């Protein structure tokens, strides 16, 4: 079984590469390294079933030999990153999805798209299930990511309908764990680094906004099940992959202070430039994942945060990025 993973040197997909190798796949990891890092896959470079190709998937993708699965995970994925790389974000979600979708039928491969809870935007419907269409500002700063993912879903489904490609769409909610970049800009890396360094914890806005944070191992397990589930059982609709355990940002800041044994104070700051459309709530309805994949997250947040805190402590001890 040969599986191509785009964005494979990123936080999430590098863990997916690990899991696929563990399951006996040959893995072709493709990454432009704009936001991904060789550090995430350096431990795999000696594995003969692992191949790394530095390539921007918005350009034609050449793959010699058979490919059984194409997993498209390439994209800047934190609000700070898509603010920094707006065009790249739009291109990898549109042109990159087009190129990877072109490859899949050519190789008669299954196709798994990493979509996002961002397709729901700032949702008036709560919790979000897959039949909700979303509330996205197309010209907002985070619109570059949201609309790229929405377009990617539209294109993937069009390929399924036009060419019969076996397309599977995951709407992935906030995921955390080891290998997140220290300067990634997201809440958990920021709060972890700030707490460990004894700096102020920067909560944007009132801190009343909510997210539902899933530990990396749970997300990876959900994605593997989505890849493997019987086609007939899955149907056409996307599947939410996330935890229903919703928490206010201010409360996760408190948890991180406690877990790291920090003396840091929480400071509330106005939303920075680019955070104008920050969703006020986010929680997945995972009935579909439970029914179709027999999956739900297992790792309790405190347990996951403790493991993650060890990673951040180690990275900071080594001197950071």
96 or 207: CB nearest ligand UDP? 207
Site for ligand UDP in 39-68 (CB under 6 A): none
Among 79, 86, 123, 140, binds ligand UDP (CB under 6 A): 79
Cα separation, 179 vs 177, in Å, equals 7
Stretch that binds ligand UDP, among 36-44, 84-92, 198-206, 313-321 (CB under 6 A): 198-206
Stretch that binds ligand UDP, among 21-29, 41-49, 127-135, 204-212 (CB under 6 A): 204-212
CB of 107 to ligand UDP, least distance (A): 32
Beta bridge partners of 140: none
- H/E stretch holding 248 reads strand 246-248
67 or 203: CB nearest ligand UDP? 203
Cα separation, 44 vs 175, in Å, equals 22
Stretch that binds ligand UDP, among 22-30, 58-66, 102-110, 200-208 (CB under 6 A): 200-208
DSSP helix/strand/coil, 262: coil
95 or 247: CB nearest ligand UDP? 247
CB of 4 to ligand UDP, least distance (A): 26
C-beta pairs of 13-18 under 8 Å, 24+ apart in sequence: 13/71, 13/73, 13/74, 13/114, 14/40, 14/41, 14/179, 15/177, 15/179, 15/216, 15/217, 15/220, 16/71, 16/73, 16/220, 16/223, 16/224, 17/41, 17/44, 17/50, 18/44
204 or 311: CB nearest ligand UDP? 204
Instruction: Output the furthest CA–CA distance in the chain (Å, rounded).
Output: 58
Asked if 181 interacts with ligand UDP (CB under 6 A), we say no
Among 233, 92, 105, which Cα is nearest to 167's? 105
Asked if 202 interacts with ligand UDP (CB under 6 A), we say yes
Alpha helices in 216-273 (DSSP H): 216-228, 231-234, 249-260
CB of 187 to ligand UDP, least distance (A): 3
Which residues carry out catalysis? Answer: 145
Cα separation, 80 vs 216, in Å, equals 20
Structure tokens at 275: 């955070």
Asked if 187 interacts with ligand UDP (CB under 6 A), we say yes
90 or 109: CB nearest ligand UDP? 90
Site for ligand UDP (CB under 6 A): how many residues?
14
Among 113, 172, 203, 216, binds ligand UDP (CB under 6 A): 203
Site for ligand UDP in 155-174 (CB under 6 A): 174
Site for ligand UDP in 255-294 (CB under 6 A): 275, 278
How far is Cα of residue 109 from the mean position of the Cα atoms in its chain? 22
- Contact indicator for 222, 170 with CB cutoff of 8 Å: yes
Stretch that binds ligand UDP, among 16-24, 30-38, 156-164, 203-211 (CB under 6 A): 203-211
CB of 230 to ligand UDP, least distance (A): 32
CB of 69 to ligand UDP, least distance (A): 27
CB of 50 to ligand UDP, least distance (A): 29
Please, how many CA atoms are within 13 Å of residue 75, restricted to the half-sphere of its CB?
Answer: 31
Q: Which chain residues interact with ligand UDP by CB under 6 A?
A: 78-79, 174, 186-187, 190, 202-204, 209, 211, 249, 275, 278
């Amino acid at each position: 079984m040969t599986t191509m993973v785009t964005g494979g040197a990123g936080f999430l997909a590098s863990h997916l590469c690990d899991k696929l190798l563990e399951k006996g796949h040959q893995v072709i990891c493709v990454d432009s390294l704009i936001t991904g890092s060789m550090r995430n896959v350096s431990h795999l470079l000696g594995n003969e079933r692992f191949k790394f190709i530095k390539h921007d998937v918005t350009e034609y993708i050449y793959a010699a030999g058979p490919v059984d699965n194409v997993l498209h995970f390439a994209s800047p994925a934190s609000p700070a990153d898509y603010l920094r790389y707006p065009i790249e974000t739009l291109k990898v979600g549109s042109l990159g999805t087009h190129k990877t979708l072109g490859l899949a039928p050519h190789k008669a491969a299954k196709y798994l798209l990493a979509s996002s809870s961002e397709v729901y935007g700032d949702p008036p419907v709560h919790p979000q299930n897959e039949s909700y269409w979303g509330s996205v500002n197309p010209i907002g700063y985070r619109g570059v990511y949201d609309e790229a993912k929405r377009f990617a879903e539209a294109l993937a489904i069009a390929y399924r309908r036009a060419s019969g490609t076996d397309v599977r769409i995951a709407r992935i909610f906030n995921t955390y764990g080891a290998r997140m970049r220290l300067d990634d800009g997201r809440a958990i890396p920021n709060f972890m680094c700030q707490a460990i360094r004894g700096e102020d914890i920067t909560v944007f806005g009132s801190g009343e906004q909510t997210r539902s944070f899933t530990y990396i191992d749970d997300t990876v397990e959900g994605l593997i099940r989505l890849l493997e589930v019987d086609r007939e059982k899955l149907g056409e609709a996307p599947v939410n992959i996330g935890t229903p355990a919703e928490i206010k940002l201010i409360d996760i800041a408190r948890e991180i202070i406690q877990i790291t044994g920090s003396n840091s104070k929480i400071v509330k700051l106005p939303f920075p430039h680019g955070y104008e459309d920050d969703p006020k709530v986010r929680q997945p309805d995972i009935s579909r994942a439970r029914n179709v994949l027999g999956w739900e997250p297992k790792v309790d947040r405190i347990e996951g945060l403790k493991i993650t805190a060890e990673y951040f402590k180690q990275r900071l001890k080594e001197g950071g990025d």
